[in-house]
Amino acid sequence: MRSALITGAGGFLGGHVRAALQRQGVALRALAHSDCSRAALAAAGIEVMQGDINDAALLARALTPAPDVVFHIAADTSVWRRERARQWRVNVDGTRALLDAAIRVGVRRFVYTSSISVYGLTAERIDESSPYLGRDGPVHYARSKAAAEALVQAAGAARRIGISVLQPSHVLGPGDRHNWSRLAQLIAARRLPGAPPGSGAFADVREVAAAHVAAALHPAPARTWVLGGSAASFGALIAALAQALDVPAPRRTLPHALLWLRALCDESLAACSGRAPTLTRDSVALACHHLRVDDTRARSELGYRHVPLQAMVNSTVAWLRQTSLLPPMQ
């Protein structure tokens, strides 16, 4: 792999994939949506194209000359019902536009970052043979990712392009400004009332990024990998964050019914204010789900590794302090 186009390179996971590719000397171009992302990527020595992923002219320029690989990592991860139309346009229509453009110019491989959520809110242990219950489930983000992945899988099955599909679970690590960092900030401020009752599989962002690079080089013409991680309840994650922050951990487990009612109130207020709600019914469904993942294939074929939960949390908190997203240790 000598050259690649990457979307989402200014984001959390995308930033780590970008860095891993740069360390290997891969010539990179990036699609960026915001001025902030464009400036940061340009400063990192990357050729940047800015605009809408559904802009055919932009995609034609970004894919000329054709790179060896396209890494499509960017996604709209909103869990607010008001933003569903935008999410579908970005996640589904945008994937279709980029995939079709890559096929037209002869890109060798399309690496797509899907999500473990495509399998839905199942109680069963998930592996690559599990049914895609998320396509008809209650969480719109999962439905959009399942629909986008179906486009990629169809192109791979028809041998129109080589595909690698990765389905990460809950990703932790340095560089997270919007996901688990908010949870750490609430715990640090002692404003978190308790833990949701669900559980997850927590993956180190650096391992997920390394798996993306390995997947791009895998010889199979079409392959999918789930990426799990350290299994833990959300209560255990909160306790690990509290330990890293050196503050008491909230001890309460908040019942599903209470969280759902709070989400309903938040969404009602958001409809009036226009500001995104703190909780939504979709986010509550995810937080109350018990996720179990079997990623034997990724560990065997990609060298993917699980990292202990406390180690991931410690590195995340250290980065948040270094970037002043959390106050320094007293």
pLDDT of residue 149: 98
pLDDT of residue 91: 98
Q: How many CA atoms lie within 13 A of 265 on its CB side?
A: 6
Q: How far is Cα of residue 142 from the mean position of the Cα atoms in its chain?
A: 12
pLDDT of residue 37: 75
Complete DSSP assignment for 35-85:
HHHHHHHHHTT-EEEES-TT-HHHHHHHTSSPPSEEEE--------GGGHH
Q: Domain boundaries in the chain?
A: 3-234+289-322
Q: What is the rounded distance in angstroms from the CA atom of residue 302 to the CA atom of residue 210?
A: 8
Q: What does pTM read for this prediction?
A: 0.95
CB neighbours (10 Å) of residue 125? Answer: 11
Phi, psi of 27 (to 5 degrees): -75, 125
Say if residue 197 is exposed, middle or buried (CB neighbours under 10 Å; 0-12, 13-18, 19+).
middle
Cβ-Cβ contacts under 8 Å for 41 (sequence gap 6 or more): 9, 10, 18, 30, 32, 48
Closest-CA residue to 6 (of 168, 204, 20): 20
| Segment holding 243, helix H or strand E | helix 234-245
SS3 31: strand
pLDDT of residue 36: 67
Q: Does domain 3-234+289-322 have CATH number 3.40.50.720?
A: yes
Per-residue pLDDT of the chain (330 residues; tens, 9 = 90+): 999 999 999 999 999 999 999 999 999 999 988 766 777 888 788 889 989 999 999 999 999 999 999 999 999 999 999 999 999 999 999 999 999 999 999 999 999 999 999 999 999 999 999 999 999 999 999 999 999 999 999 999 999 999 999 999 999 999 998 889 999 999 999 999 999 999 999 999 999 999 999 999 999 999 999 999 999 999 999 999 999 999 999 989 999 999 999 999 999 998 888 888 989 999 999 999 999 999 999 999 999 999 999 999 999 999 999 999 888 776
Closest-CA residue to 293 (of 79, 119, 75): 119
Q: What angle do CA 101, 102, 105 make, to 5 degrees?
A: 85
The structure tokens listed for 199 are 């559980």
Cross-sheet strand order for the sheet of 222-227: 47-50, 27-32, 3-7, 69-72, 109-113, 162-168, 222-227
pLDDT of residue 27: 94
Please, are residues 21 and 213 in contact by the beta-carbon 8 Å criterion? yes
Q: What is the rounded distance in angstroms from the CA atom of residue 191 to the CA atom of residue 266?
A: 17
Please, are residues 184 and 320 in contact by the beta-carbon 8 Å criterion? yes
Q: What is the rounded distance in angstroms from the CA atom of residue 128 to the CA atom of residue 110?
A: 18
Say if residue 2 is exposed, middle or buried (CB neighbours under 10 Å; 0-12, 13-18, 19+).
exposed
Q: What is the rounded distance in angstroms from the CA atom of residue 170 to the CA atom of residue 116?
A: 8
pLDDT of residue 187: 95
